[in-house]
Amino acid sequence: MSALGIAVIGYSFMGRAHSNAWRNVGAFFPDVPAVRQAVLVGRDRRAVDAAAARHGWAEAATDWRAVLDRDDVDLVDICTPGDSHAEIALAALAAGKHVLVEKPLANTVAEAEQMVAAARTAAQRGARSMVGFNYRRVPALALARELVADGRIGTVRQVRAAYLQDWLADASAPMTWRLRRETAGSGVLGDLGSHVVDLVHFLLGDPVVSARGHLRTFVDTRNGPSGPEPVTVDDAAWATLETAGGVTAGVEVSRVATGRKNGLTLELYGDRGALRFDLERLNELGFTDGLAGRDNGERRILVTEPDHPGPGAWWPPGHVLGWEHTFTLQAAGLLTALEAGTDPSPGFADGLAVQRVLAAIEESAERDGAKVGVADMDAVTSSTTRKGL
């Protein structure tokens, strides 16, 4: 394959993370197809020009539609707020471009369904698509998935998962697009909850089939550019999920958990052992062998060996990786699939599966925690779809 021309749409937080990945993927994964950082796209000309210069892009642009007409762009990487994911992705696929979309896939179940259908049609013409759940690329979590699949902790009975941040704990923190339903779709449920739900699916290989949920907005008004504005999304969410295989998962996500900066933790308990992960120690995986009798305490696995999933392309054992490396690993996985002519993982169908679980959680919250089936979220007339999740 000749070098693939990359266009990233969006230049702030996620745009920076993805730009860093495209700039470095060839250096650490020389066997994947080569890429060219063709163009970085954003609405603010001065800001996008500066970002393009900082992150190694050949040029900057302000019109994403014009970028889709360019012959030197082969892959479109969408890092914009959720309200534009579907529009851009559908247009890019129709133009024959490969597409990567940051999570969550879309703001509504209906949009996600449209995107899945378009991705299937585009794949028949050779255009591939992927959704950006970067935590699947953490080597310790990839190893955890292998250990579960190999039966090392036996039959999984329960999961505890939490993703806690505190950047909205201060009631004086200003209004942002993430706090408006029309742009974000939902609050912390879609932002951090989407990661957690996807990791439950990823680690267990077992889909969530029902949910009970509760949402809470602790600060209902924040100062925007023109004065106070209502917050129309959730600050925190709790859910109890059940999988097709009978696993119960307890989930908690928050952006008002004072003192927690990026606290993603997962615990998996089986009838023969257990696994524990903490993103703030992302190179480590806790493993308990439940068959070891009185010596069954947790041991630490430092996931940096060459035969562990992921680290082999980087540094010698013990030389740890960071959060930013997950995006480079994600880019490498996408490029590898493109070269092989196979569908990348996770695909849009995985993003839709997460979207339906999130919709079921919100539907349950509206019904005072009643149990809601995920399959019920197939219908585009569901209340959560109408509201925007």
Q: What span, in angstroms and rounded, lies between the C-alpha atoms of 298 and 114? A: 45
Helix axes 139-149, 193-204, angle to 10 degrees: 40
Residue 2's pLDDT band (cuts 50, 70, 90): confident
Q: What is the pLDDT of residue 352?
A: 98
The DSSP 8-state label assigned to residue 374 in this structure reads G
Q: What is the pLDDT of residues 3-17, one digit of tens each?
A: 999 999 999 999 999
Per-residue model confidence (pLDDT) at position 379: 54
Q: How far apart are CA 121 and CA 345, in angstroms?
A: 17
Q: Which helix (H) or strand (E) holds 84?
A: none
Percent of the chain having pLDDT more than 90? 93
Tokens 């924040």 label which residue?
Answer: 222
C-beta separation of 138 from 282 below 8 A: yes
**Would you say 202 and 170 are in contact if contact means Cβ atoms under 8 Å apart?**
no
Comparing 102-106, 134-138, 287-291, which segment has the lowest mean pLDDT?
Answer: 287-291
Mean pLDDT within 253-266: 98
Q: Spell out a b/e string for 56-92, using b for 16 or more CB atoms within 10 Å of the CB, else e.
A: ebeebbeebeebbeeeebbbbbbbbbbbbbbebbbbb
Domains of the chain: 4-135 (3.40.50.720), 138-322 (3.30.360.10)
pLDDT of 95 > 70? The answer is yes
For residue 92, the model assigns a pLDDT of: 98
Question: Which amino acid is residue 141, in one-letter code?
Answer: L
CA distances, 36 to each of 33, 55, 299 (Å): 10, 12, 43
pLDDT reported for residue 122: 98
Q: Using CA atoms, how far apart are residues 154 and 306, in angstroms rounded to an integer?
A: 26
Instruction: Report whether pLDDT(381) > 70.
Output: no
What is the torsion angle, in degrees rounded to the nearest 10, for the CA atoms of residue 337, residue 343, residue 347 and residue 348?
130
Say if residue 386's pLDDT is above 50.
no
Residue 211 CA to residue 171 CA, distance in Å, equals: 30
Question: Does the model's pTM come out above 0.85?
Answer: yes
CA distances from 28 to 22, 193, 331, 338 (A): 11, 31, 11, 18
219-236 residue pLDDT tens: 999 999 999 999 999 999
One-letter amino acid of 18: H
In this prediction, residue 214 has a pLDDT band, given cuts at 50, 70 and 90, of very high
Mean predicted confidence (pLDDT) in 342-353:
98
Of 162-176, 306-320, 349-363, the one with minimum mean pLDDT is 306-320
